[in-house]
């Protein structure tokens, strides 16, 4: 199970396209989550003295609620003598205060437990065998009892709402613990390798239940799993059915009983044999990675009352066919249906507002995409690699098409952009081979790096007048592009912007452009005539190099040009070397390979 936790943490940072940001506030490091407005205290070395953690922090124009103290946040801060914890805390992760002055201060411990601001941080061997958690404790940190060999019985009070990761892990002599009805969530490995977990008599048909809560199933669980217990199952623990390299869960079919409101984090993680799941109508939430890697899953119903899907919930369910999304869903989270290759059509609920990063990346059989009118946000890589998509209409409320949103949608032919679109971010349509023409909306301000690179059938682009920036490699290798008129407001033309547009014949510049980027038109071998903008001050390295047919460059009458960089017109064989203003500076080999002027 340790391997599962490590992999899950890795997916948070890599596979789920997490856009978390880091910041420092009052000398403490935080990890910010802009999507839900929360902040977690990140590892911060050398903290000393008295520490007051706030309930919220403000970074830039946004306020974040402090809900977590991350793993090893203050580990080893020996001079940290006291800490005040915010009431907003929801999790304190393992080893957050290990090796600190707080942890080593014996005066802060009572009855074998370190409790700070009603948060139970840790226990030691001086704890009583039967430990009653004080009614004032509102939160128990992850791993608080981990490997405690003294405790045999823990009594939890009825105000606690969760049992966090690793809470009782390795408590070899723990034979009794109650789970109050108030508990709504049990973390991964909360009871692994404790006395209860290791008692074979507690397991029935490959399952361990405590007070109506399914803690874990093992490889003795039957292929057709049926909940048969003395009392109704009310809760499933995180990673309860999760597979590991050592444990091959046999479960193929399962019906989750009515009354269950949540499928928790990684509940069926890599259940490689799972094929059919029936979910209860009572279900409100499916947690992160719940069915991650269930590559044989071919049938599941999403009940109408479902309100929330977790990030990566169906990541890698490559055989899962089209699912009906419930009407109450407001967002599709990060990588939720990543590489669900059997999807052909998605019926989005009308109230859907957000599709997050990578939500449908790699859904390679998806043919039809009807995005709802109320959609406001399309995340990075949202539909990247959906190779069979032929038509996309972006709803009017979307103002930015984010990085890689439709990258490598190789059959996308019909693209309709909303009038209010402000930005097309980096690689948004890279590799969309079939797009032939593009009318950019009137409010568009920026085209990002490689936004349309490798769109090899793109022949015509109508630029809007408000466009300010065409970034690096924006149209690189658009080999069918033939004539372009750049807008008057354009101020940024990035490096390699039209690199190797081999059929580009004419370019009309807007007068405000002051610099043509490095290699902006390199290899545009069909380019014949260029009229330079009036305000042009600089031409970058190899800007027009290898433009074999370029024979005419029209310069402004009142030239403001200051510098032409190295090899700017290298090997423009038909271009005669011009006589420019004496105040223009030149780099090396600017006109090497060009025609010398007639004497």
Taken in order 589, 594, 596, 597, is the CA torsion positive or negative? negative
Q: Is 488 helix (H, G, I), strand (E, B) or coil?
A: coil
Q: For residue 5, report the phi and psi dihedrals to the nearest 5 degrees.
A: -60, -40
Cα–Cα distance measured from residue 127 to residue 342, given in angstroms and rounded to the nearest whole number: 54
For residues 302-315, average pLDDT = 96
Cα–Cα distance measured from residue 296 to residue 252, given in angstroms and rounded to the nearest whole number: 9
Residue 335 token pair: 């990588």
Q: Quick one: pLDDT at residue 7?
A: 38
Contacts of 356 (CB under 8 A, 6+ apart): 35, 311, 331, 332, 333, 334, 336, 377, 379, 382
Q: Which of 528, 578, 576 is nearest to 556 (CA)?
A: 578
Digit-coded pLDDT (tens) for 523-540:
999 999 999 999 999 999
For residues 274-284, average pLDDT = 96
Contact 575, 592 (CB under 8 A): no
Provide the edge-to-edge strand list for the sheet that holds 119-123: 109-110, 113-116, 119-123, 139-140
Residue 59 token pair: 């970074």
pTM for this model (two decimals): 0.90
Cα–Cα distance measured from residue 360 to residue 313, given in angstroms and rounded to the nearest whole number: 12
Q: For residue 371, report the phi and psi dihedrals to the nearest 5 degrees.
A: -75, 140
Angle at 150 between CA 145 and CA 152, to 5 degrees: 80
Q: Quick one: pLDDT at residue 49?
A: 95
Residue 312 token pair: 């990566």
Q: Is the pLDDT of residue 261 over 80?
A: yes
Q: Is the pLDDT of residue 244 over 80?
A: no
Residue 224 token pair: 């057709």
Buried/exposed 446-483: b ≥16 CB within 10 Å, e otherwise: bbbbbbbbbbbebbebebbebbebbbbbbbbbbbebee
Digit-coded pLDDT (tens) for 94-140:
899 999 999 999 999 999 999 999 999 999 999 999 999 999 999 99
**Cα within 13 Å of Cα(417), Cβ side:** 25
Cα–Cα distance measured from residue 55 to residue 289, given in angstroms and rounded to the nearest whole number: 29
- DSSP string covering 460-474: EEE--TT--EE-TTT
Digit-coded pLDDT (tens) for 383-418:
999 999 999 999 999 999 999 999 999 999 999 999
DSSP type of residue 337: T
Q: Quick one: pLDDT at residue 10?
A: 37
Digit-coded pLDDT (tens) for 340-385:
999 999 999 999 999 999 999 999 999 989 999 999 999 999 999 9
- DSSP string covering 264-315: -TTTTTT-TT--EEE--TT--EE-TTTTTT-TT--EE---TT--EE-TTTTT
Q: Quick one: pLDDT at residue 599?
A: 61
Q: Quick one: pLDDT at residue 6?
A: 40
Digit-coded pLDDT (tens) for 540-560:
999 999 999 999 999 988 888
Q: Is the pLDDT of residue 1 over 90?
A: no
CA-to-CA separations, 255 to 77, 262, 298, 306, 323, in angstroms, rounded:
49, 14, 14, 16, 17
3-state secondary structure 176-214: EECCCCCCCEECCCCCCCCCCCCCHHHEECCEEEECCEE
Q: Is the pLDDT of residue 339 over 80?
A: yes
DSSP type of residue 104: H
Cα–Cα distance measured from residue 265 to residue 160, given in angstroms and rounded to the nearest whole number: 19
Cα–Cα distance measured from residue 219 to residue 502, given in angstroms and rounded to the nearest whole number: 61
CA-to-CA separations, 176 to 179, 188, 199, in angstroms, rounded:
10, 19, 11
CA-to-CA separations, 317 to 251, 262, 293, in angstroms, rounded:
16, 20, 6
pLDDT mean across residues, the chain: 93
Residue 9 banded pLDDT, cuts 50, 70, 90: very low
Residue 245 banded pLDDT, cuts 50, 70, 90: low
Q: Quick one: pLDDT at residue 16?
A: 46
Q: Is 10 helix (H, G, I), strand (E, B) or coil?
A: helix
Q: Is the pLDDT of residue 11 over 70?
A: no
| Strand 538-539 with 299-300, pairing | unpaired
């Amino acid at each position: 199970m340790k391997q599962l936790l490590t992999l899950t943490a890795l997916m948070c940072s890599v596979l789920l396209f997490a856009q978390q940001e880091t910041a420092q506030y009052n000398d403490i490091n935080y990890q910010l989550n802009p999507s839900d407005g929360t902040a977690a205290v990140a590892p911060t070395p050398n903290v000393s003295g008295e520490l007051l953690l706030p309930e919220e922090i403000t970074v830039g124009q946004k306020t974040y609620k402090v809900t977590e103290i991350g793993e090893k946040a203050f580990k080893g801060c020996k001079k940290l003598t006291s800490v005040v914890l915010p009431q907003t805390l929801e999790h304190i992760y393992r080893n957050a205060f290990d090796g600190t002055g707080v942890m080593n201060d014996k005066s802060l411990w009572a009855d074998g437990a370190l409790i700070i601001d009603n948060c139970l941080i840790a226990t030691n061997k001086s704890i009583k065998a039967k430990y009653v958690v004080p009614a004032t404790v509102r939160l128990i940190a992850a791993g608080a009892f981990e490997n405690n060999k003294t405790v045999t019985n823990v009594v939890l009070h009825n105000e606690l709402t969760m049992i966090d990761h690793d809470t009782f892990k390795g408590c070899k002599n723990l034979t009794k613990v109650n789970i109050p009805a108030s508990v709504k969530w049990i973390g991964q490995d909360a009871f692994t390798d404790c006395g209860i977990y290791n008692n074979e008599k507690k397991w029935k048909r490959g399952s361990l239940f405590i007070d109506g809560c399914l803690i874990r199933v093992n490889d003795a669980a039957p292929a057709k799993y049926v909940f048969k217990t003395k009392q109704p199952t009310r809760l499933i623990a995180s990673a309860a059915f999760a597979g590991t390299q050592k444990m091959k869960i046999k479960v193929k079919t399962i019906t989750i009983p009515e009354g269950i409101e949540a499928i928790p984090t990684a509940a069926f993680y890599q259940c490689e044999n799972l094929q059919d799941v029936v979910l209860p109508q009572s279900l409100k939430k499916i947690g992160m990675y719940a069915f991650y890697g269930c590559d044989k899953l071919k049938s599941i119903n999403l009940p109408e009352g479902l309100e929330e899907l977790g990030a990566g919930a169906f990541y890698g369910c490559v055989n899962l066919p089209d699912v009906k999304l419930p009407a109450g869903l407001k967002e599709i989270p990060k990588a939720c249906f990543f590489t669900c290759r059997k999807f052909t059509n998605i019926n989005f609920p009308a109230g859907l507002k957000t599709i997050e990063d990578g939500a449908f990346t790699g859904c390679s059989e998806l043919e039809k995409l009807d995005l709802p009118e109320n959609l406001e946000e399309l995340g990075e890589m949202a539909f990247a690699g959906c190779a069979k998509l032929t038509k996309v209409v972006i709803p009017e409320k979307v103002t930015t098409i984010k990085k890689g949103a439709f990258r490598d949608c190789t059959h996308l032919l019909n693209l309709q952009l909303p009038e209010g679109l402000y930005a097309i971010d980096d690689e948004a349509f890279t590799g969309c081979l079939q797009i032939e023409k593009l009318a950019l909306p009137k409010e568009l301000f920026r085209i990002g790096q490689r936004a349309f690179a490798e769109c090899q059938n793109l022949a015509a682009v109508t630029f809007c007048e408000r466009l300010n920036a065409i970034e690096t490699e924006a149209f690189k290798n658009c080999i069918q592009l033939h004539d372009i008129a750049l807008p008057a407001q354009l101020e940024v033309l990035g490096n390699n912007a039209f690199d190797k547009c081999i059929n580009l014949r004419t370019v009309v510049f807007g007068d405000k452009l002051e610099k043509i980027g490095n290699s902006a038109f390199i290899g545009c071998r069909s380019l014949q005539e260029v009229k330079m903008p009036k305000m042009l001050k600089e031409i970058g390295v190899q800007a027009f190099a290898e433009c074999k047919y370029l024979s005419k460059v029209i310069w402004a009458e009142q030239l403001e040009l200051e510098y032409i960089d190295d090899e700017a017109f290298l090997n423009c064989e038909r271009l005669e070397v011009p006589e420019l203003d004496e105040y223009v500076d030149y780099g090396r080999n600017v006109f090497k390979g060009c025609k010398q002027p007639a004497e």
